[in-house]
Amino acid sequence: MPFSYLSKIKPARTLQLIEVKQLRWERNQYGKCKAFILDDIYNCADLGFSITDPAITAKINPDQEVSSHCLLCMSLAQPWQGGNDPEPMCYRLVAGVIELLPEITLIGQEMQRVGWTITQGRHYLQNQFSKQSRYQLMARKPKHLCNFSKVYPPLSRSTV
């Protein structure tokens, strides 16, 4: 975003908290961490946003899992003029990341593994927790549901 445009907006919105359900994390060839927001509503899957949150950058390794369902604190960086920029620009970056229950993703994977339909999963949630969606579960309950589903064997291909 051109700095000249941003300086005309009063008040300028330089911080924004957004919910992201599909996110790809990667470290580029220079060791810099990037986040790619894959949610269709943001229409920016091809843009890699620099990440300045040290807790998340430490986790972006092949051996550590980072949830793709997060709240991102998006910020505008200080004005910077690169070699090809006609004027100083303020680039968006990820200043902070709040991971939202990685178990939510695991529940979906476990439901697939045991062959439950969405209706069967909702029926279980309604009976056990009086909830319609896994996103309504509080912190300990997704872990309970993941542990419960692990006692089921995987659905064999012959019974599908």
Average pLDDT by stretches of 10, the chain with 160 residues: 66 81 85 89 87 86 72 86 80 87 73 85 84 68 60 53
Q: The whole model's pTM is what?
A: 0.60
Indicate whether 143 and 88 sit together in one domain.
no
116 and 62 housed in the same domain: no
Residue 118 lies in domain: 103-159
Kindly state the DSSP code that residue 154 receives in the 8-state scheme.
P
What is the reported pLDDT for 6? 63
Chain Cα centroid distance, residue 19: 7
Does 138 share its domain with 117? yes
Contact assessment for residue 134 and residue 143, using Cβ atoms and an 8 Å cutoff: no
Q: Is 159 helix (H, G, I), strand (E, B) or coil?
A: helix
* C-alpha to C-alpha distance for 64 and 62, rounded to whole angstroms: 6
Q: Is there a single domain that holds both residue 108 and residue 55?
A: no
Q: Which residues contact 35 (CB under 8 A, 6 or more apart)?
A: 23, 24, 25, 48, 49, 51, 72, 94, 97
- Look at residue 159 in the predicted model and tell me its pLDDT: 44
Q: In the numeric block, which tokens belong to residue 57?
A: 């950058």
pLDDT of residue 154: 62
Domains contained in the chain, number: 2
What tokens were used for 133? 């969606």
Q: Do residues 143 and 76 share a domain?
A: no
In the sheet that holds 70-76, the strands lie side by side as 15-20, 70-76, 92-99, 49-51, 33-37, 23-27
Nearest to 33 by CA among 23, 22, 42: 23
* 131 and 85 within one domain: no
